[in-house]
Structure 1
């Protein structure tokens, strides 16, 4: 990587031997009440003050917002401090990822990055913070890192020692107990033309349910059901996923109901490099949520921490009156609606293991220290060339509270096209208390839903 790593940590701390360092001592965990936040971020800001202290995040909704409404911008008076363009990006090189540098070089004047005041808004309920501390002294990687034991509710390693622990922190980060919402995805053509695919999403996070114990969740992280609403050619398609904690011992279970055949079938290949459905082959299944699934195809290296300009507090993209037409532009989104801030991120490199056939030979992830959310990533091809750049634009959802994505996109630098997911397009607010039960996500329940 061409930029300086500001907190070099280690080379490969986890490899083929299967040996990994996991839980920390109670004395080390005391740092979560001191110089570290409850989730493991540095509580203090940076020396220059461009990253402020963490003071609890955005736990109280802004005035004027009511439960059931789409989240409103808590910082309506904020204006960009400056804008990074293809003409001035060299001034900011040390705080730009390689992916953003490449996009500024390649995409010309219409791709720019408006940089705003840094707001450390990530916040979670107090019971999540309590479990974070418990996890710190209990959680352990399974052999070869394909799962985690003695962990529940939230990220297992708030004081990580290697790249694999950081990735598991992302995979198992807290996203609430349950949520239902409608959103659209699209794969715009090079001229900006697009046909959105609209889905209803229902998540039940068994792993994060308050009061749940590890032995009760049957190796499940979450259950997910999607129901395609539009276009008419896809309407009625249902996908059901049971996401497992140890996907080598018990692989992800997935089913798909095709309205044309009127049959619910198992989908054994809904993992790894398989094309994400309706992505026009611009994104792989394991790029959903920036990274998901078993991490066994890569060797993971923790490169350290950096201060980077990353997507953050994307309330302009999430606004209730913003439509897909407002967001989508040829080659990339409408950058005037994007917001970038300076944040500290963990940098994790994934190198494909020998004998593995994944389309990405190398991947680099930039993980938010305040939430364990992957904010950006880079994907490299077989020849070591940067192929794709992905972003996650996030907000704090007030009713939980929880910091999570509102929109994701993967930019294909070769095709100069992109896949975008999370277009709200005037849809209702996310519902974080729909009242789901685990029994709502069985294969038989999906069959019944398909027949209605």
Structure 2
């Protein structure tokens, strides 16, 4: 892995027909680090001051945190400025997504949104900022939208011109070079009862390695291995994923080892609308990480920017003392542990293409300008009704400057149930430097691990 996993002739992210879309001009790129932040956000705050200027983010850990510990709240003295409820939602409707309005109206008064001071904490290493500038001048989205070229390490389009570029910014955003973590997921019943599924996750981000070149990473974004720890009925299940960039020409490679059959098998359908494993059919595979995979099933439209109350700086949910029982409630999570802030987000609408089969006819994504992380989304059925509402609660990590999710959930408004992932239950801190070797993410390695 440290030599970037050279595997034959690289696909170099493309192989598409048609002409590439135009890159930004040198004058446009010079805005990065000037009136725009290095990642392409507006550096200045808003007129009212409710969104402050970006001044570098949370680039250094707060006092009291030590390497190897779970991240502590850097703002322990912050208190909610106000709380949005079903009773006062009309006062804030212009700053709320349709999904959050629906949640407030359906589950109030138990579902409420505590709004805190906006803190623009997203930060990344300096070498990642350098790549943003390089990508801005070279990255190209090909006209069929299935991939990009001349980009590496992080989001390709810090100054996006359309919705598809924004979605690729999310898919390819920097999440570190590698990471190992343990977390639990659950699908609570209507009464709040649940049985968690605990997994170990090992990621190796080939695309984001220092010194990586397009010709060396074999069309791979990342490699992922999951190992199920609990419950006992699922323990020993291993999933291996090779995430490709152009998934239309070179589909995602996935294998699954079932401890019952004791065989490692290819999983050709682990994509698009397929049910996410262990989600009780409450979430599709392409909703993992809020959105993943090939974007070829939708037409994408950039609707512009909005100032919205969105999940942010979720250190209360991430805290080392927080257990699953503290988080899970009937219908939705414990909103007393949430934190919402006013941020500028890119709004992208996806409409299912004619002739394409997918459970979601339309989807709306709200993408953080400071990190390119999708913070919330809405999923609509074939009749145009709002079906599901998804959230990503994020923090800035300390051992590696990365803004990433700590907890995700998808609320099903019809079933009145939800899927949640990222329950920590006292698990160790995420390890951003586990030191993976190149042979740890092959099918043969997964087979050997399963037999131990």
How far apart are the structure 2 equivalents of 1:111 and 1:18? 48
Tell me how far 1:45 sits from its aligned partner.
0.3
Tell me how far 1:33 sits from its aligned partner.
2.0
- Report what 2:229 is aligned to: 229
Deviations 1:287-342 (A, max 9, x none): 00000000000000000000000000000000000000000000000000000000
Tell me how far 1:439 sits from its aligned partner.
1.9
Tell me how far 1:27 sits from its aligned partner.
1.3
How far apart are the structure 2 equivalents of 1:362 and 1:211? 39
How far apart are the structure 2 equivalents of 1:160 and 1:380? 25
CA contact (8 A) 1:152 1:207 kept: yes
RMSD of aligned residue pairs (Cα, Å): 0.9
How far apart are the structure 1 equivalents of 2:169 and 2:438? 24
Tell me how far 1:18 sits from its aligned partner.
6.4
- Report what 1:212 is aligned to: 212
**Aligned ranges for residues 269-348 of structure 1 at < 5 Å?**
269-348=269-348
How far apart are the structure 2 equivalents of 1:212 and 1:23? 22
Q: Is the partner of 1:109 in helix, strand or coil?
A: coil
CA contact (8 A) 2:171 2:292 kept: yes
**Aligned ranges for residues 414-425 of structure 1 at < 5 Å?**
414-425=414-425
1:349 aligns with 2:349: yes
CA contact (8 A) 2:171 2:291 kept: yes
CA contact (8 A) 1:22 1:157 kept: no
Q: Report the count of equivalent residues.
A: 436
CA contact (8 A) 2:394 2:406 kept: yes
**Aligned ranges for residues 53-452 of structure 1 at < 5 Å?**
53-452=53-452
How far apart are the structure 2 equivalents of 1:185 and 1:386? 24
Tell me how far 1:20 sits from its aligned partner.
6.2
Q: Compute the TM-score of the two structures, normalised by the length of structure 1.
A: 0.96
How far apart are the structure 2 equivalents of 1:167 and 1:244? 16
Q: List runs of 5+ in structure 2 lacking aligned partners.
A: 1-16
CA contact (8 A) 1:352 1:360 kept: yes
Tell me how far 1:438 sits from its aligned partner.
3.2
How far apart are the structure 1 equivalents of 2:438 and 2:82? 48
How far apart are the structure 2 equivalents of 1:189 and 1:368? 31
Q: List runs of 5+ in structure 1 lacking aligned partners.
A: 1-16
- Report what 1:14 is aligned to: none
Tell me how far 1:25 sits from its aligned partner.
1.3
Moved over 6 A (4+): 17-20
CA contact (8 A) 2:21 2:143 kept: no
CA contact (8 A) 2:309 2:340 kept: yes
Tell me how far 1:143 sits from its aligned partner.
3.8
